[in-house]
Amino acid sequence: MKERRPSLGHSRSESAWVATDCGLCGASSHATERLFAVAHADAPDRHTYIVRCTSCRLIRLDPRPSRGSIGTYYENSYLAFGGRSRSKRLQQLWELLRDAAAGAPLPSASRPFRSVLGMIGRHRFDITVTLGSEPKRVLDVGCGFGDLLIYLSSRGCEVFGVDFDERAAATAATYGLRVHVGDPERIPAPDGYFTTAVLSHSLEHIPDPKRVLREVHRLVEPGGEIHLAVPNGAAAGLHLQQSRFGHLAVPLHFWFYDEATLGRLLMEAGFGVTSVRYRMTWGTHAVAWRALRAHAGLRPALKEALAIALAVTVRRQRGDILKVQAHRL
């Protein structure tokens, strides 16, 4: 996918930002409609934009940091680098919900509640890898410090992580994980080796998602599964809150897929969609609404809260997080 230097601005920080073609259909950066502007000190004219491709309707950030400069925006405190911070009791609950959702054995006292615990776990966690009688071989692209891989390894799976940042790999190593640091477009593993691939809130960070998914297709066995979770490009919050949307994360998130655009991307990479789910992150909205109330008063905050609640009640496809499971064709 092509990156082009924007014509606006001449400072050193601005020169690291680029205009890009669509990551799905390849349409030019000029074939877009602007949805809204987002202020950023390093962007040309101190603003970047959330735009929609007029050809395939994939929403993206444009302009954005180049491949060579994006790493500078991931601070040392970034969640994916830090390691586990749950208390012992909360970690036990986290693993219980994971086990219930994944079909793993439960403590005897929890077995009568498996269905309820499993339902809670499948809703709460954006990625659930079902555990069967045979150990799975799991690839996690954009694994960070490997929170999910630590769990899967403890349940007998063979796991392998990929991340672009050495800080994530260094933290993962303290948990005994193998993490390849480098380009996810070229992952050092044999064809068809993995039974399962995971991209949990990583595909929106990847400059060329089509090439990465084709590489994942090479690595997953025929019929193998892929699990993805991304901010939803059709989210009511994205379109109503715009630059205040909690999952915008400028300039770290490049793409905002909806069910149609992510489904097409997967199909063109050789996957068939198996299931689609959505999740709301009400806590994130509560933060935004408190800020709006402090700035503009109670009435605008209530009006926005009601509008988002109504939108997601009428159409579940307007939830914050899009969760997709697919299989290799």
What is the identity of the amino acid at 216? V
Find the mean pLDDT for residues 288-312: 97
pLDDT digit string, tens, across residues 47-74: 999 999 999 999 999 999 998 899 889 8
User: What's the angle, vertex CA 142, arms to CA 136 and CA 144, rounded to 5?
Assistant: 95
pLDDT digit string, tens, across residues 80-136: 778 899 999 999 999 999 999 999 999 999 999 999 999 999 999 999 999 988 999
User: What's the angle, vertex CA 101, arms to CA 97 and CA 107, rounded to 5?
Assistant: 55
Find the mean pLDDT for residues 162-172: 93
* Domain 79-328 sits in CATH 3.40.50.150: yes
3-state secondary structure of 246: coil
Task: Look up tokens 């399962």; give the residue.
Answer: 196
Span of 9-13, 110-114, 159-163, 290-294 with lowest mean pLDDT = 9-13
Examine the pLDDT at 6 and tell me if it is beyond 50.
Answer: no
CB 140 within 8 A of CB 161: yes
pLDDT digit string, tens, across residues 196-246: 999 999 999 999 999 999 999 999 999 999 999 999 999 999 999 999 999
Which token pair is 29?
Answer: 């950066």
Examine the pLDDT at 7 and tell me if it is beyond 90.
Answer: no
Residue intervals of the chain classified under CATH 3.40.50.150 are: 79-328
Q: What pLDDT was estimated at residue 310?
A: 98
Q: What pLDDT was estimated at residue 11?
A: 41
Residue 19 pLDDT class (50, 70, 90 cuts): very high
